[in-house]
Structure 1
Amino acid sequence: MKGMCDMELNKVNKKVEDIKNNDNIFSVGKVIKVNPYTVIVSGLNDITYYEEVNIDDKAKGFVFTVGKNNVTISLIEVKEKINPGDSVYALKKQFKCLFSMDSMGKVIDIFGNDLIAGKKFDNLVEVSIENDPIPIMDRDLVTREFLTGITGIDMLYPIGRGQRQLIIGDKKTGKTQIALDAIVNQKDKNMVCIYVAIGKTKKEVKDIYYDLTKRGAASYTIIIASFNDELPNRTYLTPYVALSIAEEMMMDSYDVLVIIDDLKKHADVYRQIALASGKTPGRDAYPSDIFYAHSRLLEKGCQHKNGGSITILPIVETKSSDITDYISTNIISICDGQLVLSSKNFAKGQKPALNYGLSVSRLGGNVQDPDMKKLGSLVRRELLEYLEVRDIYELANIDEMGEELQHRMKEGKKILDKLSQNKFSPKSKEEMLSLYKFLEEGEDNASR
């Protein structure tokens, strides 16, 4: 009994000390319902989104939704069991995460912890979960090329610095590998890379970290991870914090590449939190604002007029090659193009397993130099014609075809074979152009 009295006395003394230090807490509410990842609180009238709260020193979180008579608090750290009736204190400040520039080349979480070394960084600065959107007048045209080192992308579906290009496909088709190849190819290109791992296992993240380290790419890369055994609320915040960090760097005129692996898991986590908190489900049981949740995240990708940029490569995993499901179509409509990977092509040994018919870049030749634009257009036209003919004559004997058709099939196969590329073996523009020199020579001969 004496121990309980001492605990209550300590709480009172702490609150008195807070008042003396001008840390007075202005708004107090009560927990009325406890959900798996959230709590419903009444009595917090003067409160805003993302405001930090303390629940009787048992847990901390932030305001997730604001209702007419109550608010939903998203739990970030839970020390003790929360019960209905517990007091909730609004701290009159925005919930912020932590980051250190010393984390370059490390695996970190959104609270400034080095997940490999198991310690907290020094020189931590606070990072907002979300910043105000960048005004249109502060954005510039995307005209500078972003090279992945992959011929099938840089030549046929080029990406610009400041573009949002989706990588989409079934499980085990090489989506993450394309993203890692792009990171490795940024060596000596003045690009900061941020890889956001959402819901991956610790082993998967460690493997990615060691792959990048072995190839000298870790020195300009930050891996921000939220593992599959963490609170869903932390996982939900991870890509927003990563983009806030990228924005800070862009405002300092850095070019930043952000890879989000993957947004389908992020959508599933948001659905999990929303259903547990009693939010009204919409299509496929996702909350009705799932499109807004992803659009406000991906809109941060841009070319800023100060010279900095954020290039975003979000990844989405599909099932049975269906790119028309709810989340996939949402993100396709937000992005500036998509790289579609095919499990059928992967099974045939085509690496990377791109579906060249369904992939598209809406910026295209606008970000290519004249030589790449001219040759890339020719390669794409010849390749797509070949793929169309190949699908029709897939089971036919090539020796029974006409001479012209045989020639087209052989030339098309030659083009496709030259697009084959092993992982972590980036090609320069000069190497890509030399691969298809024969096509230009053939065009010149035909025109004479």
Structure 2
Amino acid sequence: MNTPQIGLAIEEVGTVVGVADGIAWLQGLPSVPLGEVLRSPDGSRAWVFQLDENLTGCILLDQTEGLAAGTRMRRSGQRLTLACADALLGRVIDPLGRALDDQPLPPVERQQPLEARSPAIIDRDPVTRPLYTGNTVIDTLLPIGRGQRELLIGDESTGKSSLALDAIIHQRDQAMRCVLVLIGQRRAEVAETIHLLNEHDAMSHTTIVVAEAGGLPGLQYLAPFAGCALAESWMQAGHDTLIVYDDLGKHAQAYRELSLLMRRPPGREAYPGDIFYLHARLLERSTQLNAARGGGSMTALPIVPTQLGEVASYIPTNLISITDGQVYLSSKLVAAGTYPAIDLGISVSRIGGKAQARPIARECKHLRLDYLQFLELELFLRFGTRLDDETEARVRRGRLVQALLRQDRLEPRPIAFQMAWLVALNEGWLDGLEPSALQAVLDTLQLRVRGNDTPGLDAPRQQWVAAVRAWTGREP
């Protein structure tokens, strides 16, 4: 008969000494490390965030009514992970992986840590494949590659979120998995976003991670890391992923709030000294993996708001220095009725040009420079300046390009359409058209490029010229 073994078990138990504002202070955990999850008998959970000489500061993940001073909390020996699965596509979850759409969660395929090191340099490949957003300005003049990090920046109500939603909607037929992280938004805004994605049949390839404005500040802090973990699991499995952080300004504010509550020394604008590292370690996880690591990619579109167009403020400046370029949306262009309100003078893509399709790059080789020169000439036109014939021709072409770059919200355009109008523009077939006639030609092109007789993007230019000539009714 086997005799049960009797031994001594030693366990660290902490005692809560204070609970307020989504954090808890504990005593009695001398060897607990940062990032470990603690549990109480009543079901509360906390995440170790701050280690002081005598106290342990924790972010509350689950807070029950019974959590108060004197409550015991035990170490779990576990780090924060997210249960990842392909079946999460089309779902709405919180940063801890709990369903918010009243549907059962799928079986767990793997656990992905929320905090992880970014891929090593030797595990990465150069960004060489384009990511098409469906936006005319971006796909032609500010191209983005798969694995790039492109910042969307601008004042409130300039169209940053709409631009990101356009990009997600356009990935429907692009073999791309999308993760949308909503940080600190009201429930009505979250519901509207979900409705728009459902209306445009974009939820089938998208997962939404939500940390509402009324939730615990710790969940707002963890939300982008949870979304990144999910996208990272798909990237490591060889898939191409797109993640949108909406927005990292609110994320920085949540981190500042937690840091001040944890009595960390404040720095510039009361942010802690490691605020740059916070976003750097998040965005550096977006990359293009090499074939040995599966060849997957994670493209990041972080969003950050500005105040009164001040691009040089603290958090926007940090993010500009971390990312591979920025798309700046101007409130002045919004006031002038220009949509999308992208300011090409400030916007830049530092990598995407290497990933842009060669035919598109050839067609719009001088387009950006010509357009920026036209914008400068417009300043002189306000004073009634008389122009010579050459300058007047450049102004007419600039106004034509300005009309071509206009695009309505939630109407992403296929890349074949971009090629078609570029060919028509460079052949001179759009010159002199009235706005109504120009719009009719663009509608025809958009209808025809969705057909089966559209040349491939890599087809010879003569083939594209012949096709666009036939579509526009131009004579040889």
The reply to whether TM is greater than 0.5 is yes
8 Å contact 1:375–1:440 — kept in the other structure? yes
Q: Equivalent residue for 1:182?
A: 167
Q: Where does 1:398-437 land on structure 2 (aligned, <5 Å)?
A: 400-437=386-423
Identity of aligned residues (%): 36
Q: Structure 2 vs 1, CA of residues 439 and 123 (structure 1 numbering), >3 Å: closer, same or farther? A: closer
Residues 263-274 of structure 1: matches in 2 within 5 Å?
263-274=248-259
List runs of 5+ in structure 2 lacking aligned partners: 429-476
Give 1:84 deviation, angstroms.
Answer: 3.7
Q: 2:50 — aligned with what?
A: 65
Residue 185 of structure 1 aligns to a residue whose secondary structure is helix
1:322 aligns to 2:345 (yes or no): no
Q: 1:319 is matched by which residue type in structure 2?
A: Q
Does residue 129 (structure 1) correspond to residue 121 (structure 2)? The answer is: no
- Tell me the distance in 2 between the aligned counterparts of 1:349 and 1:145: 30
The letter of the residue matching 1:155 is T
Query: Is the CA contact 1:25–1:90 (under 8 Å) kept in the aligned structure 2?
Result: no
C-alpha contact (below 8 Å) 2:127/2:352 kept by paired residues:
no
| Equivalent pair of 1:250/1:308 in contact (CA under 8 Å) | yes
What SS is found at the alignment partner of 1:223?
A: strand
Amino acid at match of 2:335: A
Q: Verify: 1:48 aligned to 2:36, yes or no.
A: no
Determine helix, strand or coil for the equivalent of 2:173.
coil
Greater CA drift, 92-101 or 305-314: 92-101
Alignment of 1:90-101 (within 5 A): 90-101=75-86
Q: Residues 326-369 of structure 1: CA distance to partner in whole angstroms, max 9, x if unpaired?
A: 00000010000000001111121111110110000001420112
Deviation at 1:428, TM superposition (A): 2.3
Q: Could you tell me which residue of structure 1 aligns to residue 434 of structure 2?
A: none
**Among candidates 195, 205, 210, match of residue 180 of structure 2:** 195
2:262 aligned residue: 277
The 8 Å contact of residues 54 and 88 in structure 1, kept in 2 or not, is answered as yes
Using the size of structure 2 for normalisation, the TM-score is 0.83
1:347 to 331, 335, 340: 335
Aligned pairs for 1:194-213 (under 5 A) are: 194-213=179-198
In the other structure, the counterpart of 1:307 is 295
Q: Label 1:193 to 1:21 Cα distance change in 2 as closer, same or farther (>3 A).
A: farther
1:35/1:276 contact within 8 Å kept: no
CA gap of 1:394–1:24, structure 2 versus 1, over 3 A, is farther
CA RMSD across the alignment? 2.2
Deviation of 1:439 after TM superposition, in Å, equals: 5.1
Corresponding residue pairs, total: 421
Tell me which of 373, 381, 393 is aligned to 1:385.
Answer: 373
* Misfit runs of 4+, over 6 Å: 20-25
Q: 2:382 aligns with which of 395, 400, 407?
A: 395
Q: What is the match of residue 349 of structure 2?
A: 361
With the length of structure 1 as denominator, give the TM-score of the two structures: 0.88
Distance 2:8 2:80 in 1: 16
Kept in 1: contact 2:92–2:100 (CA 8 A): yes
The range that moved more, 135-144 or 429-438, is: 429-438
- The 3-state SS of whatever aligns with 1:393 is helix
SS in 2 for 1:167: strand
In structure 2, how many angstroms separate the alpha carbons of the residues matched to 1:247 and 1:90? 27
Q: Distance in 1 between matches of 2:148 and 2:381?
A: 36
Q: Which structure has the highest strand share of the two?
A: 1
Task: Write the distance in 2 (CA, Å) between the matches of 1:105 and 1:299.
Answer: 26
Aligned mates of 1:22, 1:48 — CA distance in 2: 26
Contact conserved, 1:58 with 1:81, CA < 8 A, in 2?
A: no
Over residues 260-293 of structure 1, what are the superposed CA-to-partner deviations in whole Å (9 max), with x where a residue is unaligned?
A: 0000010011111111221111110111111111
Closer/same/farther in 2, CA of residues 93 and 159 from structure 1, 3 Å limit:
same
